[in-house]
Structure 1
Amino acid sequence: MNLFNIALMAMLLVLGACKSSKSLEKSEPSKPVTTADTQNFLQKVSDNNVQSVKFITSKIKFQVQVGAQDLTLTGNLKMKRDDVIRLQLMAFGFVEAGRLEFTKDYVLIMDRINKQYLKVPYNQLDFLRTSGLNFYSLQALFWNELFQPGKMRLTDEAMNEYETSVGDGDVVISLEHDKMSYKWLAGSSKAEIKMANILYKDKLRGNTQLNWDYNNFKPLGSKQFPTDNAITFTTSSGKEIKLNMKLNYIGNESDWETRTEVSGKYKQVKVDDILRRFMAL
């Protein structure tokens, strides 16, 4: 499978959605929580954020599954809070084959093997535009945090819009807006986010969802941070992709350039070209 397509799938997994929210729906309790308890619990979840950490870096292992195809790659994850998220995919363990870079202004995908790239603002990617997701929403998913769609920060006022229900030792945090449904599953004792689910409901074209599971929490400063991420994506047509991303360690290296300069030797491609390649997989 072309490494450019692997990079594409990883990007779509981050930007997209999936239909495997069943595990969340099955465990969703029916007992609502009072407003005061909701605010107290949401504050506990917010307090688990690693706000004091500016950089997170790690060697990572990817496993990508598309239908019967199963591929494992290594790579690097580099993040700077409120600035950039970068994923580098490696071939043979030492040659960079693809790069995905999310900044506050654009998404960049580079296919270093075929010397091609895509660089677009968020409003040119359909799911992000319709779902209200922006860089800060994506950052929250990578950093294991709650978020308010379209906003930079989760404010005390915004917390009033969330609902919670409790049961089986977990709390489901819910937010509904037009065709969008956002849910998080958090442990009732430690208030750590175990799962995030984003659903875009379209009666004509079909639903699109993102399911992101967090596991194997390890110390990061005075907090805990997940090192295993299981992401499942399904298009409205039913094509499903799974991505497992494991962090080998949690570092805070800061000596790296936060923006990628694209060489003039690279050819720019369009979003439609990307989607055609994806649907051909």
Structure 2
Amino acid sequence: MKCYLYIALVALTLTACRSSKSAVKAPDTNTSASTKTTHITNNTAALASVQKVAAMHLSQQGVTASTKVRLSGVGGKDLSVNGKLQMKRNNVIRLSLRFLGMEVGLMEFTPNDVLVVDRMNKQFVRAKYGEVSFLRQAGLDFYALQSLFWNELFIPGQHTLSAEGLGRFELVQKAGLNVLTPKNTPKLAYHFYADPQANTIQRLQVRSNNAAEKGEFAFNYDGFEQFGGRPFPTQMRMAVTGTGKKDITLALSLSSLKADASFDTRTTVSAKYTQRSVQQVLGQLGM
């Protein structure tokens, strides 16, 4: 694995958001009559649907899980390792990667910055969200990323989904799913595909509002199991497609889900590690 692991993590973490700006493929809407799109103009019906999905949020303040991590599309290689996911609401999202029982790398998102550590080569990248223009432009700050990992609705730029925010969603019915889209997001369109019976989010699709800009970002969910009193996805898959370069995907298969918020929430990087810039890593990939 060596440096590839480190480069791949940085590339996926940061270029996924940049690619979404140019913004994964929606369910095929052209193959049968069953995929008919119905626009719901009744604001009361739209609000009721949004409220049901929002009500499915976890009450737990912390979640941990073992995970199998599969990464493809970076550097012409595929990577599969074991790992651990740790999340504490409004505090941290950490994905630790292990090989032969040792931690070889991690990604850590906090409200202030993004940290990617390569322990095999003793190097790291740390970047504030505001320093990464494509993260800022896509509206994918810590709180949006948190909502993705917790399988929850969000409105770009808002830390929480307020009662007023619930009324900002439009409702379209497509392919048997309710598609919830927040209004007034000028650069990108965020489409949440929700199961109308379980009221769980099956997919987030992000596309540019500019038809001339190609490329899509998606976060897909599957393998729902009961956890914390609600169905929670044990399969998560992020993908960046249609950018003119090789598609990038990161898939997580979760197991041993636990409600736990007692872990340390910040990683201390040794002074012996070398800090690298985002530009250095992306330049190595020709991005």
State the TM-score, normalized to the length of structure 2: 0.89
Counterparts of 2:223 and 2:124, CA distance in 1: 34
Structure 1 residue 60 displacement after superposition? 0.3
Deviates more, 1:214-223 or 1:24-33: 24-33
User: Deviations 1:173-201 (Å, cap 9, x if unpaired)?
Assistant: 11352121100100111211000012235
Structure 1 residue 102 displacement after superposition? 0.3
Indicate the residue corresponding to 2:25 in structure 1: 21
Counterpart secondary structure, 1:279: coil
Indicate the residue corresponding to 2:187 in structure 1: 179
Counterpart secondary structure, 2:223: strand
Indicate the residue corresponding to 1:188 in structure 2: 196
Q: Is the 8 A contact 2:24 2:205 kept in 1?
A: no
Indicate the residue corresponding to 1:6 in structure 2: 8
Deviates more, 1:227-236 or 1:152-161: 227-236
Question: 1:33–1:238: structure 2 CA closer, same or farther, 3 Å change rule?
Answer: farther
Indicate the residue corresponding to 2:257 in structure 1: 250
Indicate the residue corresponding to 1:117 in structure 2: 124
User: Deviations 1:43-96 (Å, cap 9, x if unpaired)?
Assistant: 00000011x10111011001111175322111110000110000011122x111
Which amino acid is the alignment partner of residue 54 of structure 1?
Answer: Q
**Number of residue-to-residue matches in the alignment:** 277
Counterparts of 1:6 and 1:202, CA distance in 2: 28
Q: Is the 8 A contact 2:62 2:86 kept in 1?
A: yes
Indicate the residue corresponding to 1:161 in structure 2: 168
Counterpart secondary structure, 1:232: strand
Any stretches of 5+ residues in structure 2 without a counterpart?
A: none
Deviates more, 1:28-37 or 1:136-145: 28-37
Question: 1:16–1:197: structure 2 CA closer, same or farther, 3 Å change rule?
Answer: farther
Indicate the residue corresponding to 2:77 in structure 1: 69
Any stretches of 5+ residues in structure 1 without a counterpart?
A: none
Counterparts of 1:139 and 1:236, CA distance in 2: 25
Indicate the residue corresponding to 1:268 in structure 2: 275
Counterpart secondary structure, 2:285: helix
Counterparts of 1:179 and 1:234, CA distance in 2: 18
State the TM-score, normalized to the length of structure 1: 0.90
Indicate the residue corresponding to 1:91 in structure 2: 99
Counterpart secondary structure, 2:158: coil
Which amino acid is the alignment partner of residue 189 of structure 1?
Answer: Q
CA RMSD of aligned residues (A): 2.2
Which amino acid is the alignment partner of residue 64 of structure 2?
Answer: T
Counterparts of 1:54 and 1:24, CA distance in 2: 36
Counterparts of 2:186 and 2:216, CA distance in 1: 15
User: Deviations 1:15-63 (Å, cap 9, x if unpaired)?
Assistant: 455673232665471332410011111000000011x101110110011
User: Deviations 1:215-262 (Å, cap 9, x if unpaired)?
Assistant: 011111211110001211137443311111100121123332100111
Question: 1:240–1:120: structure 2 CA closer, same or farther, 3 Å change rule?
Answer: same
Identity in percent: 30
